[in-house]
Amino acid sequence: MEAPIGLFDSGFGGLTVMKEIVKLLPNENLIYLGDTANLPYGNKSPETVIRCARANAAFLLERGIKLLIIPCHTACCHALEILKQELPIPIVGVIEPGLQLVHNFRRIAILGTTSTIESGLYQTQIRKQNSNVEIFAKACPLFVPLIEEGFHEHITAKLIAQHYLDELKGKIDAALLACTHYPLLRKVLDEELGANVALIEPAVGCAQIVKKILVEKNQLRIQKEKPHYQFFASDDPEKFRKFGKLFFGTVIEKVEKNKKL
């Protein structure tokens, strides 16, 4: 029960999911690893993403985690099923909660990194749950660097969103934000796609799945002492600490360097 939950992402984006875990499971000890040395995953080959995902998971397993969360959509598309077969602990990704939330829509846009969209995984899974659906898969590779430079509410964000999303206007009922970073663009995406298009984020659903598993396994931490949060980055910890606040919402006090990756 004292054992922490581990999360890994290519960098800072997964902190948007960690934020929801903190809200729903405020007693849990958490370890977050941002593989910033290999960021971004979104333009990497499946082989590279799988190699990084295995190394990240091994690093967290060595720290005795009881459950692994993979908030990174690109990593989930390429490595979630592989890691589920290889590791002895429960693993929760962001694909399943996203699929649950788009279930009732008929015209769905999937917005993600190039690697996520090219994997075709979301397209296949959505079609599996409803063959009657119209899917518009759109890679938006400029969104991640834009957000990481703090331009998510800048006019540039609006122009780039227009460039990617103009063709979807009037054609969709929902847009699945299949990238850790895109929740930060919510305002711009709302304006661009219109208020009648639902923007779907899997973070809360992911936290609910984690809670359900821990309840079922009787592994919830119920101690009253404050939980312990540990942050690791595979590149410049100070940069992670500074940028992390944008995604996590609160100040991150300390980030350690993971020298292994």
Catalytic residue among 52, 76, 140, 179: 179
List b or e across 173-200, with b for residues whose CB sees 16 or more CB atoms inside 10 angstroms: ebbbbbbbbbbbbeebbeebbeeebbbb
- In the bound state, the residue with its beta carbon closest to ligand DGL is 42
Among 51, 72, 64, CA closest to 7? 72
Enter the DSSP assignment of 84: H
Catalytic residue among 72, 76, 140, 206: 72
d(CA 227, CA 209): 20
d(CA 131, CA 166): 25
Interaction of residue 72 with ligand DGL, rule CB under 6 A:
yes
Residues present in the chain in total: 261
Q: Which is nearer to ligand DGL, 105 or 143 (CB)?
A: 143
Q: At what angle are helices 15-24 and 237-248 packed, to 10 degrees?
A: 60
Q: Which is nearer to ligand DGL, 73 or 152 (CB)?
A: 73
Secondary structure class of 98 (helix, strand, coil): helix
Minimum CB separation from ligand DGL for residue 140, in Å?
Answer: 10
Q: Is 179 a catalytic residue?
A: yes
Sheet bearing 256-257, strands edge to edge: 91-92, 67-69, 5-9, 30-34, 229-233, 256-257
Q: Which is nearer to ligand DGL, 68 or 214 (CB)?
A: 68
Binding mask 111-150 for ligand DGL (x = CB under 6 A): --x--x---------------------------x------
Q: Which is nearer to ligand DGL, 42 or 90 (CB)?
A: 42
Interaction of residue 97 with ligand DGL, rule CB under 6 A:
no
Q: Which stretch binds ligand DGL (CB under 6 A): 60-68, 161-169, 176-184, 223-231?
A: 176-184
Of the residues 6, 31, 33, 41, which one makes contact with ligand DGL according to CB under 6 A:
41
Interaction of residue 13 with ligand DGL, rule CB under 6 A:
yes
Of the residues 181, 185, 209, 248, which one makes contact with ligand DGL according to CB under 6 A:
181
Cβ(132)–Cβ(160) under 8 Å?
A: no
Interaction of residue 20 with ligand DGL, rule CB under 6 A:
no
Interaction of residue 180 with ligand DGL, rule CB under 6 A:
yes
Token pair of 58 as six digits: 């091994």
Minimum CB separation from ligand DGL for residue 149, in Å?
Answer: 13
d(CA 14, CA 7): 8
In terms of phi and psi (left: phi > 0; alpha: psi -120 to 50; beta: otherwise), the region of 218 is: left
Interaction of residue 9 with ligand DGL, rule CB under 6 A:
yes
Interaction of residue 258 with ligand DGL, rule CB under 6 A:
no
Q: Which residues belong to the active site?
A: 72, 179
Applying CB under 6 A, the residues found at the interface with ligand DGL are: 9-11, 13, 39-42, 72-74, 113, 116, 144, 179-181
